[in-house]
Amino acid sequence: MSKELKRVVVTGLGAITPIGNTFDQYWSNLLAGKSGAAPITLFDASEHKTQFACEVKDFSVEDYFDRKEARKLDRNSMFGLISAKEALLHSKLLDYADLDKLRVGVVWGSGIGGMTTFQDEILEYAKTSKPHFNPFFIPKLIPDITPGLISIEYGLHGPNYATVSACASSTNALIDAFHLIQLGKVDAIVCGGSEAGINICGIGGFNSLKALSTRNDNPSAASRPFDSQRDGFVLGEGAGCMIVEEYEHAKKRGATILAEFIGAGMSADAYHITAPHPEGLGAYNVMKNALDDAGIKPSDVDHINMHGTSTPLGDLAESKAIVSLFKEDAYGIQINSTKSMTGHLLGAAGAIEALACIGAVMHNKVPPTINFESPDPEIDPKLNFTFNQAAEKTVNIALSNTFGFGGHNACVVFKKPE
């Protein structure tokens, strides 16, 4: 006998990003059109084709962790713990006297996990040829350690695991959390994603793929989705977290409901390991699946935060998919790519972009797509990409796309609470 699906709401937000170390800072700088790209400081990048990235700024480990604790953590997990703490405080979930921690879980996405830990340990071994590895080597690098650490910190005994689907990882985490609550398995989930891949291997590897912009003379203008002169994405780092909760549970404890999470879609390109389907077939399918799941029509959508990485193939394919699915309704939707400001956070991209969608729902403002100078003749000029300046827009329903290497596509839909 089938059960009625539960309603899912968002009650807390947390972020640490290249343009702000809290959600409020992040949102304010999105609206201001601030670029997070700058020359790399985390390592000497002088021999790399790309010498800039979107690093988290003004970040001091000592401000968040004591020295002994920090030794056990990769930068990736640090970002996850910081964003989760903010989201939990924002939601006031842990203040609820009747909270059943057996029914609160953590689902977290990361495309790579502790990449810097892995790199540094292997480089150290290469220097000495002696296998004297750090005892925390394995726990620091595995992608699933971040949700484990969050659950340990707050005593959360519900479902606890990581999702890995390249750049769709954290959106898949949000989707899993959504489904767990819909099915009545849990009351609340701490969900999101983190990434910290700005290192020798990350920059070098993506350079070898010819995926990164090499605009070293002007980093702040390098991420330019949909512009005819775009030449690749800018690597970013950070984390985003949200508290998703069963509606009646949130109502009972008097929580402030920021948005309703109404639908999710998944699909595969089944085409190429790194390139999107040229006609955006996977993107079309994932958005259609999300709309169907939410029970809404294309005309109901007010805003789309596109995957929009600033790559020649990706931006074009996704734009085609939007026109193909939404048809004439596409031209009334306020579209943007916040990666123009944050860069591409890989597995954490979906989380911070979903937060940006919720910000748009909360405040009826859509952040800009910055750095646009010249149109791409292959992209439909009637699409409203919110170029260079934030827009005032009543946003009742917002949609966020994320796509990953391997052809993984994920899409989530948020609605203004009634």
Q: Which residues are catalytic?
A: 167, 307, 344
Coil, helix or strand at residue 330: helix
Tokens (6 digits) for 289: 């699946």
Closest CA to 17 of 33, 29, 6: 29
Closest CA to 381 of 325, 314, 323: 323
Determine whether 144 is exposed, middle or buried from the number of CB atoms within 10 Å of its CB (0-12, 13-18, 19+): middle
Distances (CA, A) of 368 to 54, 348, 360, 414: 17, 20, 11, 19
Q: Which regions of 135-230 does DSSP assign to beta strands (E)?
A: 160-163, 188-195
Closest CA to 355 of 140, 194, 146, 145: 194
Amino acid at 399: L
Helix, strand, coil tally for the chain in percent (to 5): 40, 20, 40
**Where does residue 239 fall: left (phi above 0), alpha (psi -120 to 50 degrees), or beta otherwise?**
beta
* CA neighbours closer than 13 Å in the CB half-sphere of residue 134: 18
Amino acid at 334: Q
